[in-house]
Amino acid sequence: MVSILSSSSVGARPVRAARGSVRTCKTWQAEAALRMLMNNLDPEVAEDPNHLVVYGGRGQAARSWAAFDAIVRELVALESDQTLLVQSGKPVGVLRTHDDAPRVLIANSNLVPHWATDEHFDDLARRGLIMFGQMTAGSWIYIGTQGIVQGTYETFAECARQHFRGSLRGRLLVTAGAGGMGGAQPLAATMNEAVCLIADVDASRLERRRASGYLDEIAAGLDAAIDRALSERAAGVAVSIGVAVDALTLLQRLLDRGVLPDIVTDQTPAHDILSYVPAGHSVESAARLRDSDAKSYAEQSLDTMVQHVQKLVELKRRGAVVFDYGNNLRARAEQRGFAEAFEFPGFVPAYIRPQFCLGRGPFRFVALSGDVRDIELMDRELIRLFPEDTGLARWLSLAGERIQHQGLPARICWLGLGQRQRAGLLFNDLVRRGALRAPIVIGRDHLDCGSVASPYRETEGMLDGTDAVSDWPLLNALVATASGASWVSLHHGGGVGIGYSQHAGQVIVADGTPEAAGRLLRVLTNDPALGVLRHADAGYAEASAAAAQHGLAIPMAPR
């Protein structure tokens, strides 16, 4: 991995964000950015903090440790009317703007389309000229594996509704990749009452998920894992079982034994050919090959992906529900010559798009106090604010019971257009009244309704064929900036890899002031509104209805 990172471990040290209501920076917006950057690199949060890697293959928070130090310095000195510019994890300037402007503007991993190839990107990364920002790594709003838990939970729940009469009790879900995001799968599966069997080639990643409560147990061997999964499926017990093998080996063994899982998916880092571990390799031998012969590594990786997808297609043909989980595995296999790779759908068109049409998407908040009681209070207040949303209440109580915090205490929940700004204003008021111990950071994944163009993921199979139109995420970043978000980011390649997506992020701070209330109202209304407009424009009737309900002006009807 090291040879393809823009960073080395020179200067590495443990980093942990400050807690509490006393700030080092001149504004709470800059202070929040500083703490969230540091929180992304907290050893409890990041997958490989020494190399500044937060999650998602090689998603980094800063380009180098020297760049990290410079960002920290600039944030501490930043005035309330200045904006720091960050280009692929390196601070490149400070400009005079105004109090309502973002304190930080970030662009990560962007390349002009013709040059947006893995080879060109890797060459620049090796020379320290660019950095892979993933989605929330380079935009400083990662909250650990929790960040994706609810999305994964909603996906599995919708799968249950569509295929299993609403429940996964007595069902076996097989998957692979227990990394920063993939590690949410076992918990989301058992929250839906399923048995989850998950493979990861790296035993230490499984151990990490078990230690943080995301994974229940690790089996001693492959057949023992399969046997245990089958007996728990028969007994209808919800449990997650990890096994330290690569994905292909697990799927091959299931096929050889004639075992048919109910659901099969995958979250290995296939978006990045040099992160996905090819068949026949341990983590160590893969690292040696990557360093000594990246070309051969890439060939082996792609060949394994073809076989991996062939097994998934075979399981589908035998009757399992199979879906792609947003890592671009199908496209890799198709490009390598497997014509049937797209025989199974992506998770967004299969399960998530109806939510996007309503402006529903990931809403995450972080307590800068560091005090878990602040999150507990906000959970309770959200349930009171939206009594009609029984799914939200169920989720928040499950999350409160089952999710351990990593780094600064945080919560994820999915909220729609109309809900997000009410939640933001409520939190701001709680800060103003002193009910919360310090300001709150509100942000989201780039995986949202209006913030991403990704034809093999969020925008796969759009009604009007506009899957690859990336005007929408560009508009999203502009809208967040115009509305007064605290920091705004524009990225390329996260989730599915270089050349395959463009996406935007925004983060907004509730510090209890009237100025923050104005910004929160604008940002948390306009951000999901753009998602509704994007889907209405593509011809989704539910989105047009949502736009009408919320009084959004649409100058021209979709064609």
Catalytic residues: 413
Alpha-carbon span 122 to 494, nearest angstrom: 14
Q: How far is the CB of 42 from ligand NAD (least distance, A)?
A: 15
Alpha-carbon span 187 to 401, nearest angstrom: 12
Q: Specify the amino acid at residue 213.
A: G
Interface with ligand NAD: number of residues (CB under 6 A): 33
Q: How far is the CB of 247 from ligand NAD (least distance, A)?
A: 4
- Binders in 477-496 for ligand NAD, by CB under 6 A: 495
| Residues 139 and 106: beta-carbon distance below 8 Å | yes
Using the rule CB under 6 A, which residue among 74, 200, 371, 458 binds ligand NAD? 200
Q: How far is the CB of 548 from ligand NAD (least distance, A)?
A: 30
Select the span of 174-182, 213-221, 231-239, 435-443 touching ligand NAD (CB under 6 A): 174-182
Contact call for residue 202 and ligand NAD (CB under 6 A): yes
How deeply is 256 buried, as exposed, middle or buried, from its count of CB atoms within 10 A (0-12, 13-18, 19+)? exposed
Contact call for residue 247 and ligand NAD (CB under 6 A): yes
DSSP, collapsed to helix, strand or coil, labels residue 78 as coil
Contact call for residue 277 and ligand NAD (CB under 6 A): yes
Contact call for residue 188 and ligand NAD (CB under 6 A): no
Q: How far is the CB of 451 from ligand NAD (least distance, A)?
A: 13
Dihedral of the alpha carbons of 132, 136, 141, 143, in degrees to the nearest 10: -110
Alpha-carbon span 241 to 487, nearest angstrom: 39
Contact call for residue 362 and ligand NAD (CB under 6 A): no
440 strand-pairing partners: 367, 510
- Binders in 113-172 for ligand NAD, by CB under 6 A: 148, 151
Using the rule CB under 6 A, which residue among 87, 146, 268, 421 binds ligand NAD? 268
Q: Which residues contact 328 (CB under 8 A, 6 or more apart)?
A: 270, 271, 456, 457, 495, 496, 497, 500
Select the span of 98-106, 268-276, 311-319, 501-509 touching ligand NAD (CB under 6 A): 268-276
Residue closer to ligand NAD (CB basis): 325 or 487: 325
Strands (E), 99-192: 104-108, 172-176
Contacts 24+ apart (CB under 8 A), 48-51: 48/1, 49/12, 49/14, 49/15, 50/9, 50/12, 51/1, 51/2, 51/5, 51/7, 51/8, 51/9, 51/12
Contact call for residue 191 and ligand NAD (CB under 6 A): no
Q: Specify the amino acid at residue 314.
A: E
Binding mask 49-68 for ligand NAD (x = CB under 6 A): ------xxx-----------
Q: Are strands 172-176 and 263-264 parallel, antiparallel or unpaired?
A: parallel
**Greatest alpha-carbon span in the chain:** 66
Q: How far is the CB of 318 from ligand NAD (least distance, A)?
A: 21
Q: Specify the amino acid at residue 207.
A: E
Residue corresponding to tokens 């947006």: 116
Q: How far is the CB of 132 from ligand NAD (least distance, A)?
A: 11
Binding mask 313-352 for ligand NAD (x = CB under 6 A): ------------xxx-------------------------
Residue closer to ligand NAD (CB basis): 55 or 427: 55
- Binders in 492-531 for ligand NAD, by CB under 6 A: 495
Q: How far is the CB of 283 from ligand NAD (least distance, A)?
A: 6
Residue closer to ligand NAD (CB basis): 106 or 277: 277
What is the contact surface with ligand NAD in residues (CB under 6 A)?
47, 55-57, 148, 151, 176-182, 199-202, 205, 246-247, 267-271, 275-277, 325-327, 447, 495
